[in-house]
Amino acid sequence: MIESLLIANRGEIACRIVRTARRMGVRTVAVCSEVDRNALHARLADEAVVIGPASARESYLNIGAILKAARETGAAAVHPGYGFLSENADFAQACRDDGLVFVGPSPDAIRAMGSKSASKEIMRTAGVPLVPGYHGADQDPAVLQRAADGIGYPVLVKASAGGGGRGMRVVERADQFEAAVAAAKREAKAAFGDDTVLIEKYLQRPRHVEVQVFGDSHGNAIHLFERDCSIQRRHQKVFEESPAPGLPDATRRAMGAAAVAAAKAIDYSGAGTVEFLLGQDGGFYFIEMNTRLQVEHPVTELVTGLDLVEWQLRVASGEPLPLRQDDVRQDGHAIEVRLYAEDPGRGFLPQTGTLNRLTMPAEGPHVRVDTGVREGDAISVHYDPMIAKLIVWDHDRPAAVRRLTKALAATVIGGVNTNRQYLLEIAAHPAFAAGEVDTGFIDRHAGDLLPSSQPASDRVLALAACQVLIERRAAVAAAAARSADPWSPWNLTNGWRLNGEAVETVRFRDGDAPVEIAVRHRGAGWRLTLPGGEMDASAEAEADGTLAADLGGRRIRAAVIADGDTVIVMDGGRAHRLLRHDPAAAAAQDTGGGKLTSPMPGKIVRVLAKAGDTVRRGTPLIVLEAMKMEHTIAAPGDGTVERIAFQVGDMVEEGVELVAISAT
């Protein structure tokens, strides 16, 4: 086994590689730019070498500086991660020339797959299906027209030198072809300095399904099943999952076999991905091969139970593949999403700034978080603005989708705008639940995915209010259980009052609009005054996290996820986000310094905590009644209650200290 490994990358992938290397007893060397000196990847590795300024060209893409770092630290091998130099054949060659093991395929294999036309020729020879098309050097207009007529319309005219979807043009009819080719050539010449085009059968709304392959230096190659990466925005993957929803088993087997044939055709060693377009007719066609570990590899790890970086290191050390094809299983369903610092409301403009809050969901068998940043780190202009990858697993797709929704709801990122809500909208979309994933998904549902200007319905507001009221009820019950006299009427949870009917309020912010819901207790439930009128409601929280509610006599089951200041209501296949808006709590928070003061003159009607209690941000502490309304004073952060200065029944002036908390 390799004894030491230099990781020529940064961010989450560098951290992820360190983790496996450490588990395998491999010493790790990080390289970093000057601004990344204190970055997580540099901290996690056994050793870190600063190789140049922030600009990637002078650091993470600087072959000379990386090889120098390898020499100086005595590293035996180099892992390129993804991006940067990972598919640079010259870098792979330079590592070899320096006596370093390159954790990846041979320079020849990288080169062969680096060219679109050459890779397709190799695949054709190997019997891997290609989209019917013309890739010839003869660019005579009459030749191209005959090719297109032979393929049958619609056809796609692609710039040979283009990539990532640039320079593509759909032609619907034969009589439009000549003009379209002329325009495509002009564009290609201007954009790439090369006006060679290729003609392909145009597949309507295909799916992007890729197969993970692995080869070793003993001539073995197997696949580790597929990933569906059809949900993309401008050729950037947004969701990745395995298995591909609804893929017939026969197609899965055929794609696996084709991918293995592709790997064998170039004597492939290490981790690779064979990308296919899957047509609506069920046919699949090779598009390209990526000769590296991919961003979305954790999806494969969660359904196979394998560690792909471990496999890479074993294979690079000359070991044979750890398993045979028949021993690899695809179990359950995994989904990955990429959290980016970007602003969906402004054309997904990348955001820079400091991550002053970063709370990711707890990791476990169902949730994995791959990140290279921590709270307080900066997202800078120099590198990719990805903050983290969230990967979930469960026994089937519907359960995995629920896990994903909850994990996204539990994610709190402050300091930069992110695509979190956008991801949540996709996860909650009925078309996604139905597995209707193809490359047109985002365009087709664009109107549903961006923050809507539609105000929340009474039904959504009622569900959110029920959630808040249940939480208050639980907090009061917990306080009663702790109190000396559990039977005191002050500890009743049904809004009992000595004189007259109490009105409680629940406040939200819906987009920019404040919403106030008056609540009167009615037996085990509540009468809510909503924007559209009165509604009787009752609700119980179920063990699976859903809310079983009765709204005006209708039984409703909905997922309502309370997440710090945010309440997300999943209803009608959409996620509705409301912010808890409690002016009293906000006023209390503003005082800072762990002191909670009375926002207005009033009477203490409940005391929900006592000195010594450990409380979390948002834990209700005291309820103040003022102007016929109740105001809940909640903990502004995690901490311990130092003292509570008042008892139930006390009158308080504005600005007096009600509770003192010391932060933990």
Least Å from the CB of residue 167 to ligand MV4 = 10
Nearest residue to 242 (alpha-carbon basis) of 294, 203, 312: 294
Interface positions, 157-196, toward ligand MV4 (CB under 6 A): 164-165
Q: Which of 195, 200, 296, 504 is close enough to bind ligand MV4 by CB under 6 A?
A: 200
* CA pair distance 296, 318, nearest whole angstrom: 25
- C-beta of 21 vs 156, nearer to ligand MV4: 156
* CA pair distance 516, 198, nearest whole angstrom: 61
Q: Which of 5, 67, 113, 131 is close enough to bind ligand MV4 by CB under 6 A?
A: 131
- C-beta of 165 vs 376, nearer to ligand MV4: 165
**Strand 27-33 vs strand 4-7: parallel, antiparallel, or unpaired?**
parallel
Phi, psi of 49 (to 5 degrees): -120, 125
- C-beta of 435 vs 583, nearer to ligand MV4: 435
Least Å from the CB of residue 160 to ligand MV4 = 13
- C-beta of 202 vs 268, nearer to ligand MV4: 202
**Strand 574-580 vs strand 566-571: parallel, antiparallel, or unpaired?**
antiparallel
Could you check whether the bond before residue 243 is cis, i.e. omega within 30 degrees of 0? yes
Residues 6+ apart with CB under 8 A from 501: 495, 520
Active site residues: 292
The dihedral over CA atoms of 439, 441, 446, 449, expressed in degrees to the nearest 10, equals: -120
Does 156 bind ligand MV4 (CB under 6 A)? Our answer is: yes
Nearest residue to 272 (alpha-carbon basis) of 230, 311, 215: 215
Nearest residue to 525 (alpha-carbon basis) of 505, 554, 499, 495: 495
Q: Among all chains, which residue has been given the structure tokens 């933990």? A: 664
CB 594 within 8 A of CB 499: no
Output the DSSP codes for 30-47: EEEEGGGTTSHHHHHSSE
Look up residue 503 and give its two tokens: 């009105």
Query: Pattern 245-284, binding to ligand MV4, x per CB under 6 A?
Result: --------------------------------x-------
Residues 6+ apart with CB under 8 A from 261: 126, 127, 128
Q: Which of 15, 222, 287, 556 is close enough to bind ligand MV4 by CB under 6 A?
A: 287
Does 514 bind ligand MV4 (CB under 6 A)? Our answer is: no
Interface positions, 432-461, toward ligand MV4 (CB under 6 A): 439
Stretch of residues binding ligand MV4 (CB under 6 A), selected from 29-37, 189-197, 198-206, 311-319: 198-206
Interface positions, 201-240, toward ligand MV4 (CB under 6 A): 201-203, 206, 208, 232, 235
Stretch of residues binding ligand MV4 (CB under 6 A), selected from 197-205, 212-220, 467-475, 646-654: 197-205
- Report which DSSP code applies to 323: S
Least Å from the CB of residue 78 to ligand MV4 = 28
Interface positions, 12-41, toward ligand MV4 (CB under 6 A): none
Least Å from the CB of residue 574 to ligand MV4 = 25
- C-beta of 283 vs 322, nearer to ligand MV4: 283
Query: Pattern 599-638, binding to ligand MV4, x per CB under 6 A?
Result: ----------------------------------------
- C-beta of 202 vs 508, nearer to ligand MV4: 202
From residue 341, alpha-carbon distances to 65, 419, 567, 609 in Å are: 29, 7, 22, 38
Least Å from the CB of residue 136 to ligand MV4 = 16
Helices of type H across 56-212: 63-73, 89-97, 107-114, 116-125, 141-151, 177-192
Phi, psi of 268 (to 5 degrees): -75, 140
Stretch of residues binding ligand MV4 (CB under 6 A), selected from 199-207, 449-457, 459-467, 639-647: 199-207
Could you check whether the bond before residue 154 is cis, i.e. omega within 30 degrees of 0? yes
Least Å from the CB of residue 192 to ligand MV4 = 15
Least Å from the CB of residue 187 to ligand MV4 = 16
Least Å from the CB of residue 289 to ligand MV4 = 12
User: How many residues of this chain interact with ligand MV4, rule: CB under 6 A?
Assistant: 15
- C-beta of 76 vs 203, nearer to ligand MV4: 203
Q: Among all chains, which residue has been given the structure tokens 């709204």? A: 551
Strands of 197-201's sheet in order across: 133-134, 197-201, 155-159, 168-171
Least Å from the CB of residue 239 to ligand MV4 = 12
- C-beta of 165 vs 430, nearer to ligand MV4: 165
- C-beta of 347 vs 593, nearer to ligand MV4: 347
Does 314 bind ligand MV4 (CB under 6 A)? Our answer is: no
Residues making contact with ligand MV4 (CB under 6 A): 131, 156, 164-165, 200-203, 206, 208, 232, 235, 277, 287, 439
